[in-house]
Chains A and B, each alone.
Chain A
Amino acid sequence: MMTTQKPADGHGPGPVFPFSAIVGQDEAKLALLLAAVDSSIGGVLVLGDRGTGKSTAVRALAGLLPSMRVAAGCAYNCAPDAPVGLCDKCNAPKARRVPVPVVDLPLGATEDRVVGALDLERALVHGEKVFEPGLLARAHRGFLYIDEVNLLEDHLVDLLLDVAASGANVVEREGLSVRHPARFVLVGSGNPEEGELRPQLLDRFGLAVEVNSPRDLATRVEVVRRRDAFDRDPETFTRRYRRAEGRLRRQLERATERLGAVAVDDAALEDAANLCMALGTDGLRGELTLVRAARALAAFEGEDAVGKAHLARVAPMALRHRLRRNPLDEVGSTTRVERALAEQFAS
């Protein structure tokens, strides 16, 4: 028996594997970085086999992200210059820098804790009706990570996708009526062998990447070597990568600042449209994501305009999950995207 504790009581998941120490997984790392540069890309889905370090990459991102300014003590992560005013802390905001939140949605979480619900303690002790914000509020302006997204109950997944798309969490339950901003990047990971993802769910994620176990021995050895070193002595290992992490963090910060200045000319838009048409993706969401991801990539690499090369690099992750496919088709969607790329961008 124990009494309830508010979160963050020091039992965090412990030291985090440094992002820059991850071997391989280039596409997954790039997708996460792009989503961090431009949150409007709309989430990342990481699919892969067991033991390929899907969660490691996402958790590592938490250690990498630059800090952000919030109103001190605000449960909704309000920016100090634009408070929403739902909690009393926001009325006289004092600015504080905190790490960008990467909130884990643990398996077995119930809906009331995800969207927020009646504050149990106050209801029981004082008979007061007060809203207690949930995980969605905590993830505002950050990332929400769902491991094993294919094991999550359907109604929770629907709810999360809906909030992620609209950027606001509307709670109408238990006589409470609350609306608060919840803009976050949804990151899901899963192993398709342990249950298929609903097809409708796939294209709600902006980017989709596939992670495989490395095939060549040298890479596998390096993965084992670093992981083992980290497990044995996390502090020393993390220290070794501190400078690399710092460099990457500064690059991220610069990219975020630069994003607005990156030009997307008509030729690039046309290229994107042609590619989507050739692949027969449904709707405009594919094109939009493709262009945004390419722009984020250009910003990340410090360039001024989006070119063919940027589009080509992000096309597989932006489009592979949007193709109409025969569910039993063995030909991977990645191959189809690559084929279309080769045809369209041949010149």
Chain B
Amino acid sequence: MTAAHGYDPGPWQLAVQAAHLFAVDPCGVVLCAQPGATRAAWLALVSDLMPGVPWRRVPAHVDATGLLGGLDLAATLAAGRPLATTGVLAASDGGVVELAMAERLGATAVGIIAAVLDDAVIALERDGLAIRRAARCAVIALDESAGDDAPVAPALADRLGLRVVLDGVRVTPDIAFTPDRAAVSRARALLAEVAVSDAQLTALTEVAAELRLSSLRPVLAALRVARAAAALDGMTRVDEMHLALAVSLVMLPRARQQLAPAGDQHGEEDAGQPDQRGDLERPDEAAHDGAATADEAGAAGSPAASGETSGSTPAQDAPPAGDSELDAAAACLPPGLLEHLARLGAAQRAGGRRAGRATGAVRAATRGRPLGSRPGRPGSGVRLDLVATLRAAAPWQRLRARGASGRVAVRQEDLRVRRFKARAEMTTVFVIDASGSSAAHRLAEAKGAIELLLAECYVRRDRVAVITFRGASAEVLLAPTRSLVRAKRALAHMPAGGGTPLAAALEASRALAERVASEGSRAQIVLLTDGRPNVNLAGCGGGDAAMRDALVVARGLRADGHAALVIDVAPRPRPFTAECAAVMGAAYLALPRADAATIAAAASTPAQRSQLA
């Protein structure tokens, strides 16, 4: 989806249809669009089609109390008995919940919304309250992610049926669209009678398999959408047009999104960016074929399944290099390196320019290890400690109760709020030199070293990200993730060769570290290089300019205050690498030369290995 559409009614027409389908059977939408007139127009259209339905907008920083409800302090104190607030989800029972910047929702919020989408009930077990309320919500998740940003959490996206992509679509007043309210209300009445044949159901399942959608929720959503489409046409049978529409609104955008980040997988680049028109036509055919005969569908399904397995095998028979390098690196890396690095980073921040800006404490208010309570006002993520509050109020009861009706009198000064000590989450960004010179030297060994560090991250439950650089630029091979299996897989498929754009790599790691910091987590950077930059920021060759640029960016990194570690993998370390580390304010570690013989020896007997160390 490029921004080149301009005046093109195609995608907008599709979006208008999606709006009608959503109004008929609200199975959820992920709306991928930047804020603007187009998005506003689409939302206005939906609300036009669903008159009289409650519509709540939920901000991305919503917490569990906002979603589920909790103790209503003011009312509780006034009434002298516990009263609960109604969370957004329960308040929107039978209505629409619009999630603003849904890609930034926290994991807990996503989990809560996902549970509500599954059960249509909120379960509140908080603050001494136990409440169950119906919450049948239609969810519109606004996805504003662009470029490298993480999209809406998969757990949520999987449960939202429709997907409307408006980026690059411009709505001008002259595009006619008429909200057809009458059709929607007719369709709603008709919906229960719409039938889907078994062959059609099979066909949809088969298309999903062909598009490699492993979850079955999109198939169920597509069924709902197809039924709604038939109902909108005033029909009680789903036909092929409806199936095709369901596929293009539910499955295709998912398949496209799945393919996009998989650029590192072999051969999928070609399939990933087909021209849009051809892509839209394919499912049509597939639906046709599937509907024709079930046998045919079965036959067509198997290559897709086998394609899936063959796609995953390379990960398993990854280069058998593994063990020996790992051992060699084990001999060279001091244990607890990252731990040390984290402390180093903390000390640096304390002394550095950012002193006093407690970055790690952003989320400390609501989670982590309880630290007791202190006087204060609850709100904005700070929770009331009810018992401590009552305890504070207790001694005064006799004095305050004068003439009152036997209620506990609690005043504002009694209020106590909970304090938590949150373990600041750490994201380790690995920046790996995959240039020709580095690869020739010891890229495999470097991988071994990284795996060791990864294992350390695993124990500490850090997130990891991987940036590689080679040729003219650096790329984020793996966005921050807690799944180390994915990290390892990314490493196994790391391509190598070409120039050494160190400056670009540092720039990319700086950007990623900033993004991590903006998400409330701390970043530390581990750079592995042989320190021979020969490509400058502009992507041109030349050693001197490349070094100059690298040092400039390195200085910027230091100013940002991220902890960093430079591991020199050159056979004969050069002073430049150490200098660069110093400029970055990074710890420097040379991974000494271990030739094949030493590696073999180290791998064979532990005794020799300890000598090596």
Partner of A7, one of B75, B86, B132, B205: B132
**What separation, in Å, do the CA atoms of A132 and B129 have in the docked complex?**
10
User: Is the C-beta of A194 less than 8 angstroms from some C-beta in chain B?
Assistant: yes
Known contacts A118-B128, A213-B214, A328-B485; A14/B76 CB under 8 A: no
**What separation, in Å, do the CA atoms of A113 and B386 have in the docked complex?**
13
Q: Let me know if B369 and A328 touch, CB within 8 A.
A: no
User: Is the C-beta of A283 less than 8 angstroms from some C-beta in chain B?
Assistant: no
Find chain A residues with CB under 8 A from B59 CB: none
**What separation, in Å, do the CA atoms of A151 and B68 have in the docked complex?**
17
Q: Let me know if A147 and B83 touch, CB within 8 A.
A: no
Give 1 or 0 for each of A202-220: 1 = CB within 8 Å of chain B CB. 0000000000010111101
- Restricting to A95-140, which residues have a CB under 8 Å from any CB of B? 104-110, 112-114, 117-121, 123-127, 132, 134-135
Partner of B201, one of A119, A132, A193, A221: A221
Find chain B residues with CB under 8 A from A330 CB: 315-316, 318, 485, 488-489
B105 to chain A, nearest CB (A): 13
Q: Let me know if B134 and A11 touch, CB within 8 A.
A: yes
Find chain B residues with CB under 8 A from A193 CB: 154, 483, 486
Q: Let me know if A9 and B132 touch, CB within 8 A.
A: yes
Q: B120, B129, B134, B158: which has the most chain A beta carbons within 10 Å?
A: B129
Stretch of A49-57, A76-84, A316-324 at the chain-chain interface: A49-57
Q: Let me know if A5 and B131 touch, CB within 8 A.
A: yes
Q: Let me know if A215 and B305 touch, CB within 8 A.
A: yes
Find chain B residues with CB under 8 A from A198 CB: 461
Stretch of B296-304, B343-351, B353-361, B591-599 at the chain-chain interface: B296-304
Q: How many residues of A contact B (CB 8 A)?
A: 76
Find chain A residues with CB under 8 A from B158 CB: 50-51
- Restricting to B448-496, which residues have a CB under 8 Å from any CB of A? 451, 454-455, 458-459, 461, 482-486, 488-489
Stretch of B111-119, B139-147, B548-556 at the chain-chain interface: B111-119
Partner of B121, one of A13, A191, A192: A13
**What separation, in Å, do the CA atoms of A33 and B305 have in the docked complex?**
31
**What separation, in Å, do the CA atoms of A75 and B83 have in the docked complex?**
22
User: Is the C-beta of B612 less than 8 angstroms from some C-beta in chain A?
Assistant: no
B396 to chain A, nearest CB (A): 13
B60 to chain A, nearest CB (A): 17
Q: Let me know if A1 and B72 touch, CB within 8 A.
A: yes
Q: Let me know if B130 and A108 touch, CB within 8 A.
A: no
Q: Let me know if A121 and B81 touch, CB within 8 A.
A: yes
Find chain B residues with CB under 8 A from A196 CB: 458, 461, 482-484
Partner of A50, one of B131, B217, B298, B386: B217
User: Is the C-beta of B155 less than 8 angstroms from some C-beta in chain A?
Assistant: yes
Q: Let me know if A1 and B461 touch, CB within 8 A.
A: no
Q: Let me know if A224 and B130 touch, CB within 8 A.
A: no
Q: Let me know if B129 and A4 touch, CB within 8 A.
A: yes
Q: Let me know if B111 and A3 touch, CB within 8 A.
A: no
Find chain B residues with CB under 8 A from A225 CB: 198, 201
Known contacts A50-B158, A124-B80, A125-B407; A113/B484 CB under 8 A: no
Q: A108, A119, A155: which has the most chain B beta carbons within 10 Å?
A: A108
Find chain A residues with CB under 8 A from B201 CB: 221, 224-225, 228
Q: Report the contact-size class of chain B (Cβ under 8 Å from the partner).
A: 35 or more
User: Is the C-beta of B216 less than 8 angstroms from some C-beta in chain A?
Assistant: yes
User: Is the C-beta of A347 less than 8 angstroms from some C-beta in chain B?
Assistant: no
A61 to chain B, nearest CB (A): 16
Residue on B with the closest CB to A114? Answer: B125
- Restricting to A127-168, which residues have a CB under 8 Å from any CB of B? 127, 132, 134-135, 147-148, 151, 153, 155
Find chain B residues with CB under 8 A from A331 CB: 316
B496 to chain A, nearest CB (A): 20
Residue on A with the closest CB to B386? Answer: A120
Find chain B residues with CB under 8 A from A107 CB: 64, 108, 111-112, 115
**What separation, in Å, do the CA atoms of A114 and B130 have in the docked complex?**
10
Find chain A residues with CB under 8 A from B85 CB: 1
- Restricting to B266-303, which residues have a CB under 8 Å from any CB of A? 297-298, 301-302
Q: Let me know if B155 and A108 touch, CB within 8 A.
A: no
Partner of A124, one of B76, B107, B126, B223: B76
Partner of A12, one of B80, B115, B121: B121
Q: Let me know if A14 and B119 touch, CB within 8 A.
A: yes
Q: Let me know if A148 and B217 touch, CB within 8 A.
A: no
**What separation, in Å, do the CA atoms of A327 and B482 have in the docked complex?**
12
Residue on A with the closest CB to B390? Answer: A123
Give 1 or 0 for each of B240-282: 1 = CB within 8 Å of chain A CB. 0000000000000000000000000000000000000000000
**What separation, in Å, do the CA atoms of A109 and B124 have in the docked complex?**
7
- Restricting to B305-359, which residues have a CB under 8 Å from any CB of A? 305, 308-309, 315-316, 318
Inter-chain pairs besides A106-B68, A327-B458, A330-B485, 20 sampled, C-beta below 8 Å: A2-B131, A5-B130, A11-B132, A11-B134, A50-B217, A51-B158, A106-B115, A107-B115, A109-B126, A110-B125, A123-B390, A123-B408, A151-B107, A153-B367, A193-B486, A220-B205, A220-B209, A221-B205, A224-B216, A328-B451
Residues of B within 8 A of A (CB): 64, 67-68, 71-72, 75-76, 80-86, 107-108, 111-112, 115, 118-134, 153-155, 158, 192, 196, 198, 201-202, 204-206, 208-209, 214-220, 223, 297-298, 301-302, 305, 308-309, 315-316, 318, 367-370, 386-387, 390-391, 397, 406-408, 451, 454-455, 458-459, 461, 482-486, 488-489
Query: Can you offer 26 A-B residue contacts whose CB atoms are under 8 A?
Result: A1-B85, A6-B130, A7-B130, A50-B217, A55-B118, A108-B68, A110-B125, A113-B126, A118-B390, A120-B127, A124-B407, A132-B128, A155-B370, A213-B214, A213-B215, A213-B216, A216-B301, A217-B209, A220-B219, A221-B202, A224-B201, A225-B198, A228-B220, A328-B454, A328-B458, A328-B484
The 10 closest A-B pairs by CB, nearest first: A51-B215, A108-B64, A217-B301, A120-B128, A106-B123, A113-B125, A109-B125, A51-B217, A327-B458, A107-B111
